[in-house]
Amino acid sequence: MMKMKAVKVVVAVMCAVFLCSCQGLYLNNGGQSGDAPQLQATNPTSSSVSSAALYFGFSDQDILASEFRRIDTYPNNSYEYALLSALLSGPQGVSSALSRVINENTTLEGISFEGNCVFVTLSDDFITLEQTEGLGEEEFEMQCLRQRMAVYSVVNTIIENTGYSRVQLYIVREEQNVTERPTRGEMGFYGDGREEEHVEPLAMDESYIMTPYTALKEFTSCLISGNLEDAHKYLSSDSSTGILRPDLAGFESDCSQNGQELVSAEVSEFYTVSEDGSRARGLISYTLASDSGERSYTDVPVSFIRSSGIWRISYSFVLDVFGGEE
């Protein structure tokens, strides 16, 4: 009887040693031996911090401008998830020129990755485009543009700040209880006959972003149309020259001196950016008209300043254009 008990004790000890050794084998081989994964201690309160450019609407203009934001990434969420969560929270910087282009009720329902594509699932609040019979053509086109700006707020933010090159959007349709790709028409893509097709993976589109080129193009367009209030929003003081941007009344006064007005402008698409990304140089050709006739200028250099992520034109350009003698 005593001999049988001793055998049981030996067997139990051997089993315990075997199990412990197996557990050690799994833990020390990175989960490669057997099916058990390597156990790693995680701290859910720890995070990694980085900065990113988030794209929002610029004032009431039809263009996106960036806001640099601190992004906190926690172990249980991806960087891309944190990035979009920050985007959906709206602009929070010191610049009052930025505004939401995504419906504030929109929620991030999911995010996944495959190859070079990010799959983003949003609530159906993201779709704000409503086509009604009583809607005028101009108003409908404006709604389409605003919806596309919401789309590229998401797409451009992800692609600029990650290594991915495409974004595929999905929508959770709450009433139908389905998740599917929205149509191109729902995303504001009208006029090409493909409105009923599902939207495809989208690449970054800089035509929706305020670059030095688009800032100068929009600025001159406002000047030519006589919209000085909107033109004023694209200007900046320049610390390198000590030239300050005046208020709107001062800007209007500077534009009216010498009785000249801008009647045409051609902005070069090419520009150079400083190594620190805070300044840029571009070229413009333009024509001024006055009582004595028209005078054209070719390849005139223009300086740009990037402040709080937004490209603006040095006010020295206004003084160069309207301050000179005829």
Q: Is the pLDDT at 310 greater than 60, yes or no?
A: yes
> What mean pLDDT, rounded, does the chain reach?
84
Q: What is the pLDDT of residue 76?
A: 82
Band of residue 33 on the pLDDT scale cut at 50, 70, 90: very low
The pLDDT > 90 percentage for the chain reads 64
- Give the span between the Cα atoms of 67 and 86, in whole angstroms: 11
Band of residue 36 on the pLDDT scale cut at 50, 70, 90: very low
- φ/ψ (deg, to 5) at 276: -85, 0
Q: Is the pLDDT at 38 greater than 50, yes or no?
A: no
List b or e across 1-13, with b for residues whose CB sees 16 or more CB atoms inside 10 angstroms.
eeeeeeeeeeeee
Band of residue 51 on the pLDDT scale cut at 50, 70, 90: confident
Band of residue 133 on the pLDDT scale cut at 50, 70, 90: low
Q: What is the pLDDT of residue 132?
A: 57
Q: What is the pLDDT of residue 258?
A: 83
Q: What is the pLDDT of residue 264?
A: 97
pTM for the complete prediction? Answer: 0.75
Residue 169 burial (C-beta neighbours within 10 Å; 0-12, 13-18, 19+): buried
Q: Which two tokens stand for residue 140?
A: 């409908």
Closest among 290, 155, 208 to 218, alpha carbons compared: 208
> CB of 146 within 8 A of CB of 152?
no
Per-residue pLDDT, averaged over 93-102, amounts to 83
- Residue ranges and CATH numbers for the domains of the chain are 48-128+135-208 (no CATH), 212-322 (3.10.450.50)
Per-residue pLDDT, averaged over 117-136, amounts to 85
List b or e across 111-143, with b for residues whose CB sees 16 or more CB atoms inside 10 angstroms.
beeeeeebbbbbbbebbbbeeeeeeeeeeeeeb
